[in-house]
Structure 1
């Protein structure tokens, strides 16, 4: 404000299982699966991804991995995928252990099973940006192709009405 005072800030805790957020991810998954099925594929490996963080964060009490597990479980309970995996992407450059497995190691595992379609569901990212448009759409696509895998990705939530509803609900809960 004019006096240079900061407005009051209210932190919002976890919203990893907010119903409309889960609905939004399920909706994007179903759209992608319908597209993949229309191409003649039936058994699709689903890989959920989230940004990796240094492993030491968990030692300091961060519950990042538990929220990730919880979000994925809420989605999986609704979609019943053929086979599903969790992976971490976009590990940083500092030389410390990062959470894993990496997307590449999960793709290696799937490739050993045989050439199958793979659907990446980036639940740790809600909009199109570098981790989506470059890391997944370019790097992971090329990596998957080198392993004879066909890689697909769900659309980002971006301006999805269900995602907007999730945001509004979380904010509203903290206003009233």
Structure 2
């Protein structure tokens, strides 16, 4: 142990001044060698009835990239950067790391936290938006791990709110779009000939419609998931217009979806990014800037679905193609996550709203982002009586 981790460990006794003993960075996880690919995909799709032939098809995406997903390396880099940022701010909390679907598993991380005397954890996930799969499912994973380790009642896990509206998350996208647009204009295209396509992971429409909170009026017509992405895209588009003077035309953008899975008979959010590319080419576009605004790092779904499939589609259609990087470990993004943590330990400033959406609570509202397969135990976003009661009544 060295550097920021050692500094955090050396000062862990000072953590008593905070309401938490540690920060838990919760990630999705990914295979680290070819033999891991199918077991990993089975973990991801457990209890969903996805046929083996579909898993094998997706597995070939990983195999084409050497059988290794970069997501674990990216999450570890984010953990290290976040630890450094917290130490620099004088917040003496170690940053632990646990994955939903692969090593290091959440259950092992929580067992180690419990055994080392860390019983109050504040979780940050690698998903920025509100939906069952990107928010509530993590809280279910936390509860399942607590139950499995017999730590329910002795270890608590709160989760910071979705951070889709943090400028530190969005501004790196704006910089990337502005750079791509400047290159397009310098290459002889006009603003009217370039389409900006924001992309995010498609989810079932029923899951989207119940994303967010009914009490906040967010259910229906795509729910909070779609509304948050549209608001984030509008913000980025406005920032790009400010960063690229003398556009000489309208800034054209739309939201599209990628990485659909599941049964073809189940409605999912559309349009698919590849269909949008075809529509734009038919409408006279000459270039596209694809912005993976739904993702925090350049993992396999970004690299394969956009850098391979979407880029190939654009090439076949004669479209010039740019793909904007995700925030990754951009210092502004790391600082934004640290701001959320600081706010929960009494070291933060009031939240600055930058999107045209109603203000959200600091933690997940009771019953938000419902599980489409029924109620399951969850941990709380912040002392939510509804969720704690569900978790406390769970059995193994």
Normalised by the length of structure 1, the TM-score is 0.90
Structure 1 moving runs of 4+ over 6 Å: none
Task: Indicate conservation of the 8 Å contact 2:211/2:225, yes or no.
Answer: no
CA distance in 2, matches of 1:14, 1:90: 21
SS of alignment partner, residue 9 of structure 1? strand
Q: Give the gaps of 5 or more residues in structure 2.
A: 1-113, 118-148, 213-223, 242-249, 347-396
Aligned residue-pair number: 176
Measured against aligned partners, the alpha-carbon deviations of 1:86-132 in whole angstroms (never above 9, x if no partner) come to 10111113231110111122112211122511000110011111111
CA distance in 2, matches of 1:122, 1:75: 12
What is the aligned partner in structure 2 of residue 137 from structure 1? 307
Task: Indicate conservation of the 8 Å contact 1:29/1:121, yes or no.
Answer: yes
Candidates 154, 164, 167, aligned match of 1:19: 167
Measured against aligned partners, the alpha-carbon deviations of 1:120-154 in whole angstroms (never above 9, x if no partner) come to 01100111111111110110111111211111101
CA distance in 1, matches of 2:209, 2:335: 34
What is the aligned partner in structure 1 of residue 127 from structure 2? none
CA distance in 2, matches of 1:70, 1:175: 28
SS of alignment partner, residue 321 of structure 2? strand
CA distance in 2, matches of 1:83, 1:59: 26
Larger Rg: 1 or 2?
2
Task: Indicate conservation of the 8 Å contact 1:115/1:148, yes or no.
Answer: no
CA distance in 2, matches of 1:19, 1:53: 25
Equivalent runs, 1:11-160 vs 2, <5 Å: 11-43=159-191, 44-62=194-212, 63-80=224-241, 82-95=251-264, 96-160=266-330
CA distance in 2, matches of 1:141, 1:122: 13
SS of alignment partner, residue 173 of structure 1? helix
Q: Give the gaps of 5 or more residues in structure 1.
A: none
SS of alignment partner, residue 13 of structure 1? coil
What is the aligned partner in structure 1 of residue 378 from structure 2? none
- Which range moved further: 130-139 or 15-24? 15-24
Task: Indicate conservation of the 8 Å contact 2:164/2:232, yes or no.
Answer: yes
SS of alignment partner, residue 290 of structure 2? strand
Task: Indicate conservation of the 8 Å contact 1:121/1:153, yes or no.
Answer: yes
Measured against aligned partners, the alpha-carbon deviations of 1:138-175 in whole angstroms (never above 9, x if no partner) come to 10111111211111101221111111122211222222
SS of alignment partner, residue 159 of structure 2? coil
CA distance in 2, matches of 1:64, 1:174: 24
Task: Indicate conservation of the 8 Å contact 1:16/1:70, yes or no.
Answer: no
**Cα RMSD (Å) of the superposition?**
1.9
CA, structure 1 residues 164+104, in 2 after alignment: closer, same or farther (shift >3 Å)? same
Displacement of 1:61 in angstroms is 4.2
